[in-house]
Structure 1
Amino acid sequence: MEQITGILLLLVILVFFTIFTYYAPYGADVMGALAGAAIATFLVEALQRFVIGDIFGIEFFQETGLEAGLLSGVIVAFLVALTMKVNAQNSAIIAVSMGGLGLIPGLIAAYIVSFVAKFFEKKIPNGLDFILVVILLVPLTRLIGMGISPLVDASLLQIGTIIETATDTSPLIMGLMLGGIITVVGTSPLSSMALTALLGLTGIPMAVGSLAAFGSAFINSVIFHKLKIGDLKSVISVAIEPLSKADLVSANPIPVYATNFIGGALSGMVIAYSGLINDAPGTATPTAGLLVLFGFNPASQVVLYAVIVAVISGITGFIGSYIFRNYRVRKSDFDATGKL
């Protein structure tokens, strides 16, 4: 029952952030900023600390990675404010107020306060606006962040904890559902990096997320190539990072999402029983997701399951492209002709 609860809560979160992405002011850009912050902090921490630092025993890299991971709240606040067109100086001032706080409190606090900062910039003469930002918005941002932190711990992060705990009792179901969801989210504006960072996933579930994301590179490249969704550059781009071709994905959602869910679910079930772990949340992305695993698992084990996932995903991609071979491909949401 616990695993079902975790999945249902995850679906609720997905619905909420999907609505936010499409309908909230700056929604898609803010979620992109969240994904960027996850890369700049959690991914840097994983590669510097756990891969280079731990594998080679170099203290300098371990410390560099550790410090990067501690800056998640600051970096996301800066990127969110900057994305919302707050000037760079005021964005930086807002961001420093989030020192010591986490990724999600930083996201929410900066999103709220940025509207006020934009109002100051518009109504107050240049050179004076930042004084008000320092005096009023720095403490306001921090108060919002501190107030949200307990809620985040009790909700979003709790969902991640439920998923991690439930994996021990029913790894098959969790691998199937989480692998399928992660690959679909990875091709949507929400981003699989953002989702796994939101939930703070670690351990086996994060390994499922990162390797399923790795497998999606093979699924998407086959689908794009066989169905002729875009040119060769598009095939390469979607394999490296699905979000880079979000316009083409959203224009052809049925073949892409359906095939990704099946391939991700199959890979997830395999990974759930593999023994692989990933303690770097927010690293569900094709290239980095694979590299990070070497910092937490034996290299031979990572290579073995990476090959298995690649084969499963490639075969799924070919099957999916055959099933949808007569699908009318569109090259954007605004192209109803179906012609490339």
Structure 2
Amino acid sequence: MEQLTGVLLLLLILIFFTVFTYYAPYGGEVMGALAGAAIATFLVEALQRFVIGDILSLGFFQETGLEAGLLSGVIVAFLVALTIGVNPLNTAIIAVSLGGIGLIPGLFASYIVSFAVKFLERKIPSGLDFIVVVIAIVPITRLIGLIITPLVDGTLLKIGSIIEMATEASPIVMGLLLGGIITVVGTSPLSSMALTALLGLTGIPMAVGSLAAFGSAFMNSVIFHKLKIGDLKSVISVAIEPLSKADLIASNPVPIYATNFVGGALSGMVIAYSGLINNAPGTATPTAGLLVLFGFNPATQVILYAAIVAVISGLVGLLGSYVFRNYRIRKSDFVFKKQTSSRS
């Protein structure tokens, strides 16, 4: 029952953020800002604190990573406001008002007030607008963040805890479901890094997310190459970061999403069985997803299961490319023409 509850709640969150991504003003750009903030904070924390700092017992790096992780709300607010078009000074003012507030409250607080600030910038003479922002917008922004924080703790983080508890009860089943979902999300505009940061996943579930994302690099590069989706640069780019080729993926969702779910599910079961853990949320990305595991697990164990996941993912990529060999593929030139015509 816990597995079903966790997955259903996770699917509801995915539906919400998918709708937000496609239909909210600046939705896709804001979700990109969220993923960027996760990289700039959680990934820095993971590599500096857990990998370099803990493995080598270097206090300077541990402190650097810790401080980076505490700035998630500030950084996401800065990137969101900048993305929406607020001028840099007001963007910085909005960001600093969210010190000590988490990633998701910072996201929504800055998203809400950024539209008001843009309106003020149009109506108030330049040089006076930032005074109004400091006096009026800063307290409003912080108040919104403080109001949203318990709601986030009661929903998104609760879903993450349910998934973690369900994993302890039945790790193989949850590894299958979570691995499949996260690899699919990793190729969608939401991004697996943003999702795992949203849910605050740690332990085995986060290990599933991070190493399954690592495996997706092999799977996606194989299917891109075999189905001739894009050129060699596209194959390399999708292996490093699937979101870099979001346009091609969105144009060929069936073969890519289906293949990723199968490969991620198989990899997820293996990772859940391995007992690997990852206590750095938001690190479900191909390169960092592997590296950060060395900070929490024996190196030989990480290397062994990374190799297994890479083989599984590569084989699933080959299988997927065979199954969809007759599928009509939309290539880079089609995407480029589509984008050009939509702008003209």
Q: TM-score, normalised by structure 1?
A: 0.98
User: Is residue 220 of structure 1 aligned with residue 220 of structure 2?
Assistant: yes
User: Is residue 327 of structure 1 aligned with residue 324 of structure 2?
Assistant: no
CA displacement, residues 272-301 of structure 1 (integer Å, 9 cap, x when unaligned): 111100000000000010000000000000
Task: Give how far 1:33 is off.
Answer: 0.3
- Identify the residue that residue 341 of structure 2 maps to in structure 1: none
- Identify the residue that residue 114 of structure 1 maps to in structure 2: 114
Distance 2:113 2:36 in 1: 20
Task: Give how far 1:333 is off.
Answer: 5.2
- Identify the residue that residue 46 of structure 1 maps to in structure 2: 46
Task: Give how far 1:200 is off.
Answer: 0.4
Letter in 2 for 1:78: F
Which portions of structure 1, spanning 4 or more consecutive aligned residues, are displaced by more than 2 angstroms? Answer: 331-336
- Identify the residue that residue 282 of structure 2 maps to in structure 1: 282
Distance 2:329 2:305 in 1: 33
Letter in 2 for 1:169: A
Task: Give how far 1:335 is off.
Answer: 6.2
Distance 1:298 1:83 in 2: 40
User: Is residue 303 of structure 1 aligned with residue 303 of structure 2?
Assistant: yes
CA displacement, residues 175-230 of structure 1 (integer Å, 9 cap, x when unaligned): 01100000000001110000000000000000000000000001100000000000
Distance 1:334 1:310 in 2: 31
Task: Give how far 1:334 is off.
Answer: 7.4
Q: Which runs of 5+ in 1 are unaligned?
A: none
- Identify the residue that residue 22 of structure 2 maps to in structure 1: 22
Distance 2:204 2:310 in 1: 18
- Identify the residue that residue 165 of structure 1 maps to in structure 2: 165
User: Is residue 139 of structure 1 aligned with residue 139 of structure 2?
Assistant: yes
Matched residue SS, 1:294: helix
Contact 1:229 1:329 in 2 (8 A): yes
Task: Give how far 1:37 is off.
Answer: 0.4
Distance 1:240 1:333 in 2: 20
Letter in 2 for 1:50: F
Letter in 2 for 1:58: L
User: Is residue 77 of structure 1 aligned with residue 77 of structure 2?
Assistant: yes
Letter in 2 for 1:294: F
Distance 2:28 2:132 in 1: 28
Task: Give how far 1:3 is off.
Answer: 1.2
Letter in 1 for 2:113: V
Distance 1:159 1:87 in 2: 36
CA displacement, residues 38-58 of structure 1 (integer Å, 9 cap, x when unaligned): 000000000000000000000
Q: TM-score, normalised by structure 2?
A: 0.97
Letter in 1 for 2:132: L
Distance 2:287 2:179 in 1: 16
CA displacement, residues 123-161 of structure 1 (integer Å, 9 cap, x when unaligned): 111001111110111000000000000000000000000
Letter in 2 for 1:195: L
Q: Which runs of 5+ in 2 are unaligned?
A: 339-344
Distance 2:122 2:5 in 1: 46
Contact 1:250 1:333 in 2 (8 A): no
Distance 2:201 2:276 in 1: 14
Contact 1:251 1:333 in 2 (8 A): yes
Task: Give how far 1:173 is off.
Answer: 1.3
- Identify the residue that residue 256 of structure 1 maps to in structure 2: 256
Task: Give how far 1:250 is off.
Answer: 0.5
Moved more, 324-333 or 269-278: 324-333
CA displacement, residues 300-319 of structure 1 (integer Å, 9 cap, x when unaligned): 00000000000000000000
Sequence identity percentage: 81
CA displacement, residues 218-254 of structure 1 (integer Å, 9 cap, x when unaligned): 1100000000000000000000000000000000001
Letter in 2 for 1:48: Q
Distance 2:336 2:36 in 1: 27
Distance 1:13 1:240 in 2: 26
- Identify the residue that residue 66 of structure 1 maps to in structure 2: 66
Letter in 2 for 1:310: A
Task: Give how far 1:172 is off.
Answer: 1.4
Contact 1:221 1:238 in 2 (8 A): yes
Distance 2:323 2:157 in 1: 38
- Identify the residue that residue 4 of structure 2 maps to in structure 1: 4
Distance 2:296 2:277 in 1: 6
